[in-house]
Chains A and B, each alone.
Chain A
Amino acid sequence: MAKYAFPEVLVSTTWVDEHRNDPGVRLVEADEDVLLYSQGHIAGAVRLDWHTDLQNQTVRDFLDKPHFEKLMNAKGIAHDTSVVFYGDKNNWWACYAFWVFKLFGHEKCFIMDGGRKRWELDNRPLVRDPEPHYSPTEYHAKEPDLSIRAFRDEVHRHQRSGKPLVDVRSPGEYTGQLLHMPDYPQEGALRGGHIPGALNIPWAKAANEDGTFRSAKELEALYLKQHGLKRRSRVVAYCRIGERSSHTWFVLHYLLGFPQVKNYDGSWTEWGNAVGLPIERGEQPAPAETIPEPAVESVGGTA
């Protein structure tokens, strides 16, 4: 029976309910919708907004080490705090925040499986209290761990050498069709399409209806069997700005045990605008072994 590679990074809503007042545990809510926390959050949780808290506002980059340390101090997170992330949309931004914390070397990071949705389905309480303040800490972050982050030139080399890339956006974004639809809001890229050779595995396929992750067996069927990824290969995942792909990064590394997965946070808003980088349009070619044999009846021509 297939099991997650690192099952300990997932905690259940029940575990969170029992441990949310532990002094060594800090709950962090990270949502797509910024108002959700104000409407109701798990008692004791602090709020992290990917845009206003985790981004550098003057350089397109994440916050730097001093700012990350400042953020940790303000949220009362110490080196040995067990940080449990949860949020809306299948924990999409929770995984993004998890990834940023890993970038700065925070050891004890966990995801509450199912996020807000599972918590609400369990009929567990949410409170509208203002964000709690914890005693400030003196956090010293590590230098960014670039083994989980890919940059443009590196992705280009990766692509040219034929190594696997996973585009986790919707099929419409992947084929390039979406940028050409009338009245569609600007996607933030000059051209629509994908990095040549990338597979298209939309990120949300890794989640169940209730926001929890699919079982190890289902994930293996999707990524290994259906799309032919090999566990030993180095994989780069990307989307539009690196948010949805951090969810896939989490799945491939922590749940399926791929040793080397990088998130390309420049993603399509960089690649689709960059001078000199190739793109590809249209659907993903079917893997060679699944291309159907020509039907016998059609053997008349020489096509």
Chain B
Amino acid sequence: MSSAANKLDSIIEQFAELEPRERLELLLEFAEGLPPLPPRFQAERDRSDHRVHECQTAVFLWVEVIDRRVQIYAEVAPEAPTVQGFVGILVEAFCGASHDEVLAAPADLLQRLGLVESLGMVRMRGLQAIFTRVRREVAVAAAAE
């Protein structure tokens, strides 16, 4: 069974092997691979609290836990491909995982991906906020299930 830990580890490994500039190319692939927001969420997008306010970019997140499996849906402003890329990594790593696996993901994920070197500390704040938000929503959704 492919656990979230395995998927995430393999993504971390892919990034770690690359030079900082090449990491950006891989991040761009994740940005362009982020699935579009399913139509059922679009109506509630603008009138809900799904926006990650801690992030300067417009990022909308929905986290569901059904039968103990996590699903993440997201929309990120097209002018922010870096944020799209990071959300793409989280979606790829965590969709279908159990909530325990998501909550066990390393808190220093951004460092492990080597993105601090490629992007600089200042750009980490918004991304860290998104990661924190995903983990928090997974915990809340899991508790409600």
Contacts from A to B (Cβ < 8 Å): 33-36, 38-39, 51-52, 55, 88, 116-117, 183-188, 241
- Say yes or no: A34-B24 contact (C-beta < 8 A), given A51-B120, A88-B79, A185-B54: yes
Q: Nearest-CB distance from A246 to chain B (Å)?
A: 14
- Say yes or no: A185-B80 contact (C-beta < 8 A), given A34-B118, A52-B120: no
A33 & B82 in contact (Cβ 8 Å cutoff): yes
B68 CB–A CB distance under 8 Å: no
Residue among A36, A185, A241 making CB contact with B79, cutoff 8 Å? A36
A185 & B126 in contact (Cβ 8 Å cutoff): yes
Of the candidate stretches B10-18, B25-33, B98-106, the one touching chain A is B25-33
- Say yes or no: A34-B54 contact (C-beta < 8 A), given A185-B128, A186-B125, A241-B122: no
Chain B residues with CB under 8 Å of A187's CB are 125
Q: Which residue of the partner chain A has the closest CB to B126? A: A185
Chain A residues with CB under 8 Å of B128's CB are 185
- Say yes or no: A38-B120 contact (C-beta < 8 A), given A33-B81, A183-B132, A184-B54: no
User: For window 101-145 of chain B, which residues contact chain A by CB distance below 8 Å?
Assistant: 118-123, 125-126, 128-129, 132-133, 136
A34 & B82 in contact (Cβ 8 Å cutoff): yes
A185 & B85 in contact (Cβ 8 Å cutoff): no
Chain B residues with CB under 8 Å of A38's CB are 24-25, 28, 81
Provide 6 A-B residue pairs closer than 8 Å at the C-beta atoms, listed in order of the A residue: A34-B118, A34-B119, A39-B31, A117-B79, A184-B54, A185-B126
Q: Which residue of the partner chain B has the closest CB to A185? A: B125
Residue among B85, B125, B129, B133 making CB contact with A35, cutoff 8 Å? B85
Q: Nearest-CB distance from A211 to chain B (Å)?
A: 11
A35 & B54 in contact (Cβ 8 Å cutoff): no
Q: Nearest-CB distance from A90 to chain B (Å)?
A: 11
The CA-CA distance from A35 to B83 in the complex, in Å, is 10
Chain B residues with CB under 8 Å of A51's CB are 119-120, 122-123
- Say yes or no: A33-B80 contact (C-beta < 8 A), given A38-B28, A51-B119: yes
Chain B interface size, under 10 / 10 to 19 / 20 to 34 / 35 or more: 20 to 34
Chain A residues with CB under 8 Å of B27's CB are 35
A39 & B81 in contact (Cβ 8 Å cutoff): yes
The SS class assigned to the A binding surface is loop
Against A, the Cβ 8 Å flags (1 = close, 0 = not) of B47-90 are 00000001000000000000000000000000111110100000
Top 6 nearest A-B pairs (CB, nearest first) are A51-B120, A35-B81, A185-B125, A33-B82, A185-B129, A35-B28
Chain A residues with CB under 8 Å of B129's CB are 183-185
Chain A residues with CB under 8 Å of B82's CB are 33-35
Q: Which residue of the partner chain A has the closest CB to B31? A: A35
Q: Nearest-CB distance from B58 to chain A (Å)?
A: 13
The CA-CA distance from A36 to B77 in the complex, in Å, is 12
* Max chain B C-beta neighbours (<10 A), residue from A51, A184, A185: A185
Chain B residues with CB under 8 Å of A36's CB are 79, 81
A33 & B120 in contact (Cβ 8 Å cutoff): no
Chain B residues with CB under 8 Å of A88's CB are 79
Q: Nearest-CB distance from A62 to chain B (Å)?
A: 14
Q: Nearest-CB distance from A52 to chain B (Å)?
A: 7
Chain B residues with CB under 8 Å of A55's CB are 120
The CA-CA distance from A71 to B122 in the complex, in Å, is 22
The CA-CA distance from A88 to B122 in the complex, in Å, is 17
B79 & A33 in contact (Cβ 8 Å cutoff): yes
Q: Which residue of the partner chain A has the closest CB to B78? A: A39
Q: Nearest-CB distance from A86 to chain B (Å)?
A: 14
The CA-CA distance from A88 to B57 in the complex, in Å, is 12
Q: Nearest-CB distance from A170 to chain B (Å)?
A: 10
Chain B residues with CB under 8 Å of A117's CB are 79
The CA-CA distance from A186 to B122 in the complex, in Å, is 10
The CA-CA distance from A186 to B121 in the complex, in Å, is 11
* Max chain B C-beta neighbours (<10 A), residue from A36, A55, A241: A36
Chain B residues with CB under 8 Å of A39's CB are 28, 31, 81
- Say yes or no: A35-B24 contact (C-beta < 8 A), given A52-B120, A186-B125, A241-B122: yes
7 extra interface residue pairs, beta carbon distance < 8 Å, beyond A33-B82, A38-B81, A51-B123: A33-B81, A34-B24, A34-B119, A39-B81, A183-B136, A185-B128, A185-B129
